[in-house]
């Protein structure tokens, strides 16, 4: 029997971008593009149904995978990733995350809802189709 647990730990960093520059790898804008082009329609629709009013994009999240077997074997890996906390009207959050691969995120994990209201700053708009727009 093999079980896999995927954990995301986001570290809040002040984003540094320039208005005229194209999104660089691992920037909030690149993370927004990765979500807009890589998240499935079903996942984006769930965000819309949850009434997200804003989002916080962290392009430098640490994404970890822990694997273990019933016989006692285990392994852990960590990679760089992107996480987005959608801020709901209630103040609770809905979190999604994925690992960077070749400048994009191929697989989005989540969503995981917070159990209570969490004070989270926002740096992105949530559009009516569930896509996001980074505004700094």
pLDDT in tens, 23-64: 666 899 999 999 999 999 999 999 999 999 999 999 999 998
pLDDT tens digits, 97-136? 999 999 899 999 999 999 999 898 999 999 999 999 999 8
Q: Identify whether 3 is part of a domain.
A: no
Range of the domain at 130: 24-59+81-134
Give me the pLDDT at residue 23, please: 60
Record the pTM. 0.77
Give me the pLDDT at residue 88, please: 96
Q: Identify whether 28 is part of a domain.
A: yes
| 118 contacts 92 by C-beta, under 8 angstroms | yes
SS3 126: strand
Outline where 3-125 has alpha helix (H). Answer: 28-38, 41-49
Pick the closest to residue 84 from 129, 41, 47 (CA basis). 47
**Structural domain total, the chain:** 1
Q: Identify whether 112 is part of a domain.
A: yes
Q: Identify whether 118 is part of a domain.
A: yes
Q: Identify whether 17 is part of a domain.
A: no
Q: Name the token pair of 75.
A: 């392994």
Q: Identify whether 7 is part of a domain.
A: no
Q: Identify whether 94 is part of a domain.
A: yes
The whole-angstrom separation of Cα 108 and Cα 131 is 13
Q: Identify whether 106 is part of a domain.
A: yes
């Amino acid at each position: 029997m093999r079980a896999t647990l995927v954990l995301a730990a986001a570290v809040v960093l002040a984003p540094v971008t320039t208005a005229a520059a194209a999104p660089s790898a691992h920037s909030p804008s690149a993370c927004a593009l990765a979500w807009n082009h890589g998240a499935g329609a079903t996942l984006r629709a769930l965000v819309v149904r949850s009434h997200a009013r804003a989002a916080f994009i962290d392009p430098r999240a640490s994404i970890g995978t822990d694997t273990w077997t019933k016989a006692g074997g285990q392994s852990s890996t960590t990679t760089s990733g992107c996480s987005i906390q959608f801020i709901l009207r209630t103040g609770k959050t809905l979190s999604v995350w994925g690992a960077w691969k070749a400048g994009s995120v191929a697989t989005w994990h989540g969503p995981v809802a917070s159990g209570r209201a969490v004070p989270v700053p926002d740096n992105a708009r949530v559009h009516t189709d569930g896509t996001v727009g980074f505004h700094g």
